[in-house]
């Protein structure tokens, strides 16, 4: 019991130093996924704008 209490006290004392000390390693797959999806959406939207562009009247030159 005494051992357990000592361990808890040690953990409590160490906790403030541990908060925020971890660091995510890797994760480039998430990064590329975000950039890839964004580029795909921007390209698709640009293509949709091009497809919906106002057409010049066919008799404009007449």
Partner 1 sequence: MGKFIKWGLPALALAVLAAGWWLGLAWAPPDREMGDVQRIMYVHVPLQWVAMVAMAINFVVAIGYLMKASWKLDATAEASAEIGLVLGTAGMITGAIWGRPTWGVYWSWDPRLTSQAIMLVTYTGYLVLRRFVEDPEKRATWSAVVAIIGAINLPIVWFSVRWWRSLHQVQSTPKTVDPEMTLALRVSAFGMLFLTIWFLVQRYRQALAERQAEVALPDALPSDLAAAGGANSSRVA
Read off the tokens for 30: 């998430």
Q: How many helices (H) and strands (E) does the chain have?
A: 2, 0
Q: How far is the CB of 30 from partner 1 (least distance, A)?
A: 5
Task: Give CA separation, 61 vs 20, 30, 55, 56, 58, in Å.
Answer: 69, 52, 13, 10, 7
Q: How far is the CB of 58 from partner 1 (least distance, A)?
A: 14
x/- track of binding to partner 1 for residues 13-42 (CB under 8 A)? -------x-xxxxxxx-xx-xxx-xx--xx
Would you count residue 47 as binding partner 1 (CB under 8 A)? no
Q: Which residues of this protein are in contact with partner 1, per CB under 8 A?
A: 20, 22-28, 30-31, 33-35, 37-38, 41-42, 45-46, 49, 52-54
């Amino acid at each position: 019991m005494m051992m357990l209490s000592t361990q808890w006290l040690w953990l409590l004392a160490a906790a403030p130093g541990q908060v925020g000390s971890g660091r995510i390693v890797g994760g480039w797959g998430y990064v590329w996924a975000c950039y890839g999806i964004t580029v795909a959406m921007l390209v698709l939207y640009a293509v949709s704008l091009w497809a919906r562009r106002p057409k010049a009247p066919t008799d404009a030159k007449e």
